[in-house]
Amino acid sequence: MGRTPARAIDVASGQRPQLAMHAPSSPSSVRGLVLQGLVKIHPGPVCALRGVDLAIPDGMFGLLGPNGAGKSTLMNLVAGLVEPTAGRILLDGVDVVADPRHMRERLGYLPQDFGFYPDQTGRAMLEFLLKLKGVTGPKGRRALADELLERVNLTAAAKRKVGGYSGGMRQRLGLAQAIAGNPRVLIVDEPTAGLDPEERQRFYRLLSELSSGRVVLLSTHIVDDVATLCPRLAVIRAGEVVADTSPGAARRAVDGAVHEGHVADADLPAFAQSHRVLSAVLDEGRNNRVRVFVAPGRTPPPGFQRSVGTLEDAYLALMRCPADELPPALARSAAGVRAGGAA
């Protein structure tokens, strides 16, 4: 199926969309992953992505958004599993939509759901996956599998059946196949979902070690994953990038606009009708400890105290507040993305 050029189609009207396109001045000199005006329209029609522009450098880059926001579609486009309806994907200056082999030869991918044969040992399963990928090493596939298992701290479990692995061990085994062949781009989709806190911390350290010298695109709806690992992130909502920023900048943007107080459970529905509630957590099983976003120039609810802003506060404000209520710094990051540039 051929690609439709950027600006060629609009899902609702059939007219050309006004997408912000910004080609690099010297593509051959650009290092990293660049997404330009990416649109993906599924049959229906359903517009999964609406003109995504991102510049993703080497290292960890977080893609944060709720389920159904378009994160997995974006991952599949970068991985070359589907073609965009419009737009370009450049890896180190090479258009990988026009030349998909360039990406395939440089890609490692850990999907959200990875199927293993439970009766196979870790080593046998990894050797099988390496064979499917066509990857071997100078000392043979068995030696490469052992090297990869050591790198992800699974040497002691190499002879155990995968069916007996914990969730974190299965994720590390999936990561071992993803890094085989020393990929230039590593995509990890919801990698810590279902992991206990100790396994999550272990996986964080491993991902951080592997991010040196390569692009690692981390897609998640878990804010802590991005806050811990990623010096930069993009927030995606309903197929659009609404912010391209850093965790520190996002926290500073909402600092002073977040207030916290207590609201009785019975009063919470009415309270939420008149205030921008970011989160409400039961406190000792009775009252709710509520965090609210208070737009500049507005008054916080009675009894609420100013609280230090967090990345989760910034993310939830982007999800729940209209653009004209966002703090100027956060609004600028969103406007910069819509204009085709990073904040």
* CATH number of the domain enclosing 179: 3.40.50.300
Q: Which residues of the chain have pLDDT under 70?
A: 1-29, 331-343
pLDDT at position 17: 35
Query: Which of the listed residues 245, 262, 294 is the one where a domain comes to its end?
Result: 245
Residues 237 and 318: beta-carbon distance below 8 Å: yes
pLDDT at 2: 47
Domain boundary among 202, 222, 245: 245
Domain identity same for 115 and 241: yes
122: number of Cβ within 10 Å:
27
Tell me: do 215 and 239 sit in the same domain.
Answer: yes
Residue 198 sits in the same domain as residue 270: no
Q: What is the dihedral of CA 174, 177, 178, 182, to 10 degrees?
A: 150
Whether residue 293 lies inside any domain: the answer is: yes
> What contacts 28, CB < 8 A, 6 or more positions away?
93
69 and 172 together in one domain: yes
Q: What total number of domains does the chain contain? A: 2
Does the residue 135 lie in any domain?
yes
Same domain, 63 and 196: yes
8 in a domain, yes or no?
no
Q: Is 267 among the domain residues?
A: yes
What pLDDT does residue 20 have? 34
The structure tokens listed for 85 are 């309806």
Say what the pLDDT of residue 6 is: 38
Residues in the chain: 343
Does 183 fall in a domain?
yes
pLDDT of residue 84: 96
User: Quick one: 73 and 202 in the same domain?
Assistant: yes
Q: Measuring CA to CA, which residue among 90, 87, 89, 96 is closest to residue 8? A: 87
**Which residue has 């996986």 as its token pair?**
203
Say yes or no: 181 and 255 in one domain. no
Q: Are residues 181 and 200 in the same domain?
A: yes
Q: Are strands 276-283 and 258-264 parallel, antiparallel or unpaired?
A: unpaired
311, 230 in Cβ contact below 8 A? Answer: no
Whether 37 maps to a domain, the answer reads no
Q: Is residue 49 one of the residues assigned to a domain?
A: no
User: In the prediction, which pLDDT does 336 show?
Assistant: 55
Indicate whether 125 and 227 sit together in one domain: yes
What CA–CA distance (Å, rounded) separates 77 from 219? 13
Q: Are 236 and 306 in a shared domain?
A: no
Same domain, 199 and 221: yes
Do 334 and 188 belong together in one domain?
no
Q: Please report whether residue 97 resides in a domain.
A: no
Last residue of a domain, one of 184, 216, 245: 245
d(CA 202, CA 152): 10
Domain that holds residue 151: 57-77+107-245
- In sequence order, what are the residues at sequence separation of 6 or more whose Cβ sits closer than 8 angstroms to the Cβ of residue 73? 40, 48, 49, 82, 239
Q: What is the pLDDT of residue 337?
A: 52
